[in-house]
Amino acid sequence: MLVLVTGDASSGKSEYAESLAMKLSEKRIYAATMKNDGKESRERIERHRRLRAGKGFVTMECPDGLEEKAGMILESEPEFFEGASVVLEDVPNLLANEMFTDKPYGDPLQDILSLSQRSAHLVIVTGNLFTGGYGYDSMTMEYLKKLAGLNRSIAARADEVWEVVCGIPEKWKGKGI
């Protein structure tokens, strides 16, 4: 099952995604994409770790090279993803980490689809970054357009799509878990 959960910053989307993963499987993996490269990111990472403490998630740090990281884990532990619910947190970080690097970036959609095929359930967290207007520089606009396209592609393939507003989930597609 492929599920997309979206919402604004601090809307409760991550917590909701975790709750869905917990309903889907007792084996839970948290694929974390945020780079630990400053005080703000460290604080956010620690906050997310505290929020998922005691929920039975194994964390897979993958700020870049999602496909490569998953492949390395499969080589050493072939059963790692078997029957698991994976929370991929989050698409905006994954895309930014891939785009804003010195090395050529891969195809985040293909990486996500590959992860989906490896796991029983993939719950993907993304964000609504498009409400701030259009007065951005060209590189930021390119990022926002790619993110919008990536979100649309994931939503089209998803079995369910949820939006979380003020901690309240609203189902946009699918039957509901």
- Domains, the chain, ranges and CATH? 2-172 (3.40.50.300)
pLDDT value of position 123: 98
Spans in the chain with pLDDT lower than 50? none
Q: How many CB atoms lie within 10 A of CB 149?
A: 12
pLDDT value of position 24: 96
